[in-house]
Amino acid sequence: MIHVIAIITAKPGMREAVLKEFRANMPAVHAEEGCIEYGPAVDAEGIGAIQTACGADTFVVVEKWESPQALKAHGAAPHMAAYAAKTRDMIASRVIHVLSPAA
């Protein structure tokens, strides 16, 4: 299994617009072969000092894929290219961590 943590920071005030496009693309991603989990998350409220907040313009995508090949196919999927084209001008930065479970 492959885990992916993608940290997406929108340009100021654009997070909801990016999330709207993200959510519209989710059914196509969930239908991909090898997709186990794929969804956005934002800062939880009221957690306190233990939390390092991402911020108002950032969301995190939590993903799980059956294999590296499934993840590579996801990255090459036409719907992902369409999503990237729709959101390109709204995104300030993205950081993608691809992880394997620790033994």
User: Over the stretch 17-59, which tens digit does the pLDDT of each residue have?
Assistant: 999 999 999 999 999 999 999 999 999 999 999 999 999 999 9
Around 55, how many Cα atoms within 13 Å sit in the side-chain half-sphere? 11
Position 85 pLDDT exceeds 90: yes
Residue 71 belongs to what H/E stretch?
Answer: helix 68-76
Q: Indicate the class that CATH gives domain 2-43+53-99.
A: alpha beta
E-strand stretches of the chain: 2-10, 35-41, 58-65, 91-99
Could you give the CA distance from residue 47 to residue 58 in angstroms, rounded to a whole number? 17
pLDDT of residue 103: 86
